A = this chain, B = another copy of it.
Amino acid sequence: MKNMLDDEAAGTAALLFEVGTLKLTPRTGWLHAQVRHPESIAEHSHRVSLISAILAALEGADPGRAALMGTLHDTQESRLGDISHVGKAYVKTVKNEQVTADQTSTAAPVVATMIGDAVAEYEAQETPESRVAKDADKLECLLQALEYQRAGNQNVQAWVDSSRAALKTAAALQIADAAMNMTGLEWRQ
């Protein structure tokens, strides 16, 4: 490869600093459920990425492509915030694809294209990889709700239920049902 221009390198670094704020930004729904210091968007997205790859493997899709979409699926929230279930009735946002275009506008063009394509594919929901990544988003939320429940929180059953109801792939449903019948500590034995 040839080197990036200095401005492209700076634009790419700026994108990474922006995405770094997702480490600090809590997922809004849990705050409404009285979870103090809940997971960050970055923490959620990390397990979404892994689940995306796993569902892809189970559904015969490309794990790497799915993992990338899982990693990217909430990156627009550094600008939009994590708009809650309630907020959706009050807030209108531009499309995620447009936010991504702005976020990557000063990055190296090959980076902007790579990210823009993956985000567009995820938002279109027409490929198997994008579909498992969306299911991964929901399954991750279900798992986290179960974890908060077992840590004591009695407010999150609605998150378990709505997440499960949104699952579309057979693999995600099977894992969800298994998870609901476990303690979450099985791996320690």
Seen from chain A, the residues whose Cβ lies within 8 Å of a Cβ on chain B are 1, 3-4, 6, 9-10, 12-26, 28, 31-37, 39-40, 42-43, 45-47, 49-51, 53-54, 57-60, 62-68, 70-72, 75, 78-87, 89-94, 98-99, 103, 107-108, 110-111, 113-115, 118, 143-144, 147-148, 150-155, 158, 170-171, 174-175, 177-179, 181-188
Q: Which of B66, B110, B174 sits near A4, CB closer than 8 Å?
A: B174
Chain B residue nearest to A57 (CB atoms) is: B114
Chain B residue nearest to A56 (CB atoms) is: B114
CB <8 Å contact, A183 and B171: no
Q: Which of B1, B43, B184 sits near A43, CB closer than 8 Å?
A: B43
Dominant SS at the A interface? helix
Q: In the assembled complex, how far is the CB of residue A154 from the closest CB belonging to chain B, in whole angstroms?
A: 5
Chain B residue nearest to A108 (CB atoms) is: B58
CA distance A115 to B137 in the complex (A): 19
CA distance A80 to B87 in the complex (A): 5
Q: In the assembled complex, how far is the CB of residue A24 from the closest CB belonging to chain B, in whole angstroms?
A: 4
Q: Which of B16, B178, B179, B184 sits near A47, CB closer than 8 Å?
A: B16
CA distance A187 to B21 in the complex (A): 11
